[in-house]
A and B are shown apart, each in its own frame.
Chain A
């Protein structure tokens, strides 16, 4: 089974802190994604990556950056956390552009105080 693991289930950070959310997949998938999920808004794409060191902005990249130094790991960085970044963050991966099934991690509930 594909496993997508997010480093923390719950996280509380202070406004202004630099926050790292880590995601690791163990099935050699090429494409990885970061979403945030808020009530009534569905999942909104922050960034995605289709190869090591390659990244593309999603629909709401402002205030975020990403890093993909190794194929299995995709990190989301909040450069200076703000209260409006309090949300559920979900990481996902897909094997490659010819596949259609995305596998999700269990999510990180981030609270910025």
Chain B
């Protein structure tokens, strides 16, 4: 089956940098995304990696290594509003099947 593993919780201080890791075991893999979800809200798209390497979008960067079945989300200059759950998502198959990881709850403190 498909599985994506993430740490369940991460705590960091405002202004710091935090990395959320994701390891995956999937068949038919062709890309990895990251989504953010605030409590009570819907998941929203942050980034997508279709190729190995680093993608940067403002304070957020995402990395993929296909050979290691591994990716991470890097959040810089953390703000209180970044407190949320973060999900890595594998894109597989010909019909864009999206499989979510278990999610990492990020708590940003003062």
Residues on A lying within 8 angstroms of B by beta carbon are 31, 33, 35, 40-45, 48, 50, 56, 58-59, 90, 92, 94, 96-97, 100-107
In the complex the two chains form, what is the Cα distance from A41 to B103 in whole Å? 8
> Given known contacts A35-B100, A94-B96, is B45 in contact with A102 (CB within 8 Å)?
yes
Contact A104 B31 (CB under 8 A): no
> In which size bucket is the chain B interface?
20 to 34
The majority secondary structure among interface residues of chain A is: strand
In the complex, residue of chain A having the shortest beta-carbon distance to the beta carbon of B47: A100
B residues sitting closer than 8 Å to A (CB atoms) are 1-2, 8, 31, 33, 35, 41-45, 48, 50, 87, 89, 91, 94-103
Supply 6 A–B pairs (Cβ within 8 Å), ascending by A: A42-B100, A43-B43, A48-B95, A90-B42, A94-B96, A97-B95
* Pairwise interchain contact A59-B2, C-beta atoms closer than 8 A: yes
Which chain A positions have C-beta within 8 A of B94? 97
A104 B98 Cβ-Cβ under 8 A: no
Question: Is A43's CB under 8 angstroms from B96's CB?
Answer: no
Are A33 and B98 in contact, CB atoms less than 8 angstroms apart? yes
Q: A107 and B95 in contact (CB under 8 A), knowing A42-B101, A42-B102?
A: no
* B45 cross-chain contacts in A, Cβ below 8 A: 100-103
Q: Which of B1, B8, B43 is close to A104, meaning CB atoms less than 8 Å apart?
A: B43
- Tell me the minimal C-beta distance from A71 to chain B in angstroms: 15
Distance between B30 CB and nearest chain A CB, rounded to angstroms: 10
Known A31-B95, A42-B100, A97-B94; 16 more pairs at CB < 8 Å: A40-B102, A42-B101, A43-B43, A43-B103, A48-B97, A50-B95, A58-B97, A59-B1, A59-B2, A90-B42, A94-B96, A97-B95, A102-B45, A102-B89, A106-B41, A106-B42
Q: How far is the CB of A109 from chain B (nearest CB, A)?
A: 10
- In the docked arrangement, what's the CA distance between A34 and B43, Å? 13
Bound: A105/B31 CA distance, A:
23
CA–CA, A106 and B91, complex, Å: 22
